[in-house]
Chains A and B, each alone.
Chain A
Amino acid sequence: MTRGKLLAGGAAAALFMVVIFVIAGGPGAKAQAKKEVPLETGGDASVRPWKRYAGWPARDESKWSTLGHQSSPPPPNAPRKLAGPITGDAANGARLVADRDRGGSCLACHVMGPAGGVNLPGNVGPDLSEIGTAGREDEYLFNYIFDPRVYNPETVMPPWGGHGLFNDLEINDMVAFLKTLKSPAPFKTELDNPEKRPAPVETRENLDPIENPGMWAVDKAQELWKQSGAAGKSCQSCHANAGAEFKSWAASMPKWEPRLDKVLGVEEFVTRHAKATTGADWLMETDENRAMSIYLHYLANGTAIHVDTESAASKAAIERGKALANRKVGELNFACTDCHGKVANRWIRGQWLGEPKGQIDHFPTWRTSLLAIWDIRQRFQWCQVNIRADELPPDAKEYGDLELYLAALNEGQKLSVPGIRH
C-alpha cells in the first residue's frame, strides 16, 4: 500500500511540473533554452566492425533472430506424427539430458530424477522425476522436446528439435529416458533441491575498495578527469566541481538524444561528449570509458533512478524497448521477459533469475568471477551470447531503447555503483 501511495504521489508531482513548464513555455522561451550539450554526432561510439570479447564463445548464430533483426523460423503449426512407438536408448538419453554443450542441458530447468547426479538442477520448468508415471504418449513427449510451442505458445522452453540442437534419434533417446523416471529425485543435499535452495543475497560492501576492485576505477577516472585530450582541454576545464555537478545526473540516464535519433546511456554519452570537447578517444568498452562511467554513476550514488518517461520520444523508445524485451532471440529462443519475467525468481541450474527491478542500479559492476568491470551494455551482450544469439555493438540503438525501458522499470531504485557480483 505504501508503494502505491508513493507512486501516486510521484505521478502527481510529475504532472505538476509539466503544468509549470507549459505556463513558462511562452514566446521567447526557446531562445532562453539551455545551450545544447556538445556531442560528437558522427561515427560510431564503439569499435567497428564489432568484435566479440576475447574468451567469449565464438559461435556464429547469425541464422537466428537478434535484437537487431528477426530471422528465426516461425513455430510449427501442428505436432509431428510418429510412425510408431519410440524405441530409444534410455542410457544415451540420460547422458543427453545432462549434456551442457548443447545449450545448457535439461537439468538447467528441470529436476529429472537421478539425471546428471542430481547436481544443482533448476526449477524453471516442472519436476519431471515422475513423468514416467504420468501416462504421456510418446508423440506428446517427442513433440514437447522437439518444439513445445505446438502445445503451449507461451512456453519459455527452447525448440530443441525445431532449432536443430538435437536430432530426432537423440530426442527418441531422451523420450525413452523420460519414461524410466518414476520416483522423486534423490537429492544429496538440501542445496541441490531448487525448491529449498535459498535465494542469493549480495552482502559484500560494494563501495569498499578492499572488497571491490571496481572501486579502483573511481581513482582512475579522477586522474582521467584532469588529463588533457587532443583538444588541449580536460573534463576539469569545464567541470571543476564534479561532485556537486553530477550528484544526480547518472540517475537520469539513459536519455533520448534527438541529434542522434537514439537513446544514449552514460557510456555512449561519455564517448561522444569527450570527443566533442576534450578530443579524448574513449570508445565504449575501453578501460577509460568504463572507469568514467563508474565514476559518473558513483557521484550519483544514493540517488533514485528517475528517467524521462513523459516526453513523446521517450514514450516511443520505452515502447520499442518493451517490444524488444519480449522478442524471442537466438537459437535457444528466449526473450528477456522469459527469464526475467515469466519465470523470474527461480533457479536456472545454479543461477538465480532475477526480476527486472534491481538489475540496473549497480551497473557498471565488478565481476569477481572475471576480474572485470561490466557495464549494462556488456551485460545485455552476454545475455544474448549466452542464449546463442549474436550480440549487437554496445552502442546499438536497440540497446538504448532496452536500457531506457529497464531503467523505467527501476524507477526509484537507488544507485550503488560500482556493484559487486559473481
Chain B
Amino acid sequence: MAERPRLKLPKEAKKGEVIEIKTLLPHVMETGQRKDKDGNTIPRKIINKFACEFNGKPVFAVDLEPAVAANPYIQFHAKVEESGTFKFSWTDDDGTVTTAEESISVS
C-alpha cells in the first residue's frame, strides 16, 4: 500500500498572514551507500525534489540529497494574500511523482 502524504496547515487565514505548513511523505530514503547482507549495494531510492505552489505560482522548492532521513519532513512558511489551493509534489528517483493539495480560505 502506497503511503499517503501528510499535510498540516490552517484551513483559514487572514489576508497577508504568514502561515506555517508542515509536510511529510512516508518514504525509505535509501541512500545508495548501504550494502545488503550479501555485500551488494542497495540501490539509491530517495525523494530528490519537493515543490509547493499556490494557485499555480511557486512558493517553495527543495532538492533533497541522500543524507536526508526516511520519511522526509519539510516545514516552511508562506504569506497568503488570497484564497486558493496549495499543491505539493514529491519526485522519487524512479520518476514517480506523489502529489497532494490543500485549500485555504483567506479573509
Contacts and interface: CB of A to CB of B under 8 A. Distances in A.
B24 A371 contact: no
A194 interface: no
A223 B4 CA distance: 13
Contact of B73 (A210, A216, A223, A371): A210
A245 interface: no
Contacts of A371: 70
Contacts of B70: 371
Contacts of B8: 208, 210
Contact of B6 (A210, A220, A223): A210
Given A210-B73, A213-B71, A371-B70, A219 B4 contact: yes
Nearest to B24: A210
B3 interface: yes
Contacts of A208: 8
A213 B26 contact: yes
B22 A210 contact: yes
Interface string B1-19: 1011010100000000000
A354 B55 CA distance: 51
A216 B22 CA distance: 16
Contacts of B6: 209-210
Interface string B64-83: 00000011010000000000
B107 to A, nearest CB: 26
A220 B70 CA distance: 19
A371 B70 CA distance: 10
A208 B71 CA distance: 15
Interface residues of A, number: 9
A136 B52 CA distance: 70
Contacts of A223: 1
Contacts of A216: 3, 26
Contacts, number: 16
Contact of B1 (A209, A210, A213, A220): A220
Contacts of A209: 6, 24
Contacts of A220: 1
Contacts of B26: 213, 216
A416 B58 CA distance: 39
A210 B6 CA distance: 6
A197 to B, nearest CB: 27
Nearest to A219: B4
A371 B3 CA distance: 15
Contacts of B4: 219
A220 B22 CA distance: 22
Interface in B21-71: 22, 24, 26, 70-71
Contacts of B22: 210
Nearest to A209: B6
A219 B73 CA distance: 19
A371 B28 CA distance: 11
A371 B26 CA distance: 11
Contacts of A213: 26, 71
A83 to B, nearest CB: 50
Nearest to B73: A210
Interface string A209-251: 1100100100110010000000000000000000000000000
A216 B73 CA distance: 15
B38 to A, nearest CB: 16
Contacts of B1: 220, 223
A371 to B, nearest CB: 7
B77 to A, nearest CB: 16
Contacts of B3: 216
A248 to B, nearest CB: 28
16 contacts: A208-B8, A209-B6, A209-B24, A210-B6, A210-B8, A210-B22, A210-B24, A210-B73, A213-B26, A213-B71, A216-B3, A216-B26, A219-B4, A220-B1, A223-B1, A371-B70
Given A210-B24, A371-B70, 12 more contacts: A208-B8, A209-B6, A209-B24, A210-B6, A210-B8, A210-B22, A210-B73, A213-B71, A216-B3, A219-B4, A220-B1, A223-B1
Please give me the 8 A-B residue pairs with the lowest Cβ-Cβ distance, nearest first: A209-B6, A210-B24, A210-B6, A210-B22, A210-B8, A216-B3, A213-B71, A216-B26
Interface of B: 1, 3-4, 6, 8, 22, 24, 26, 70-71, 73
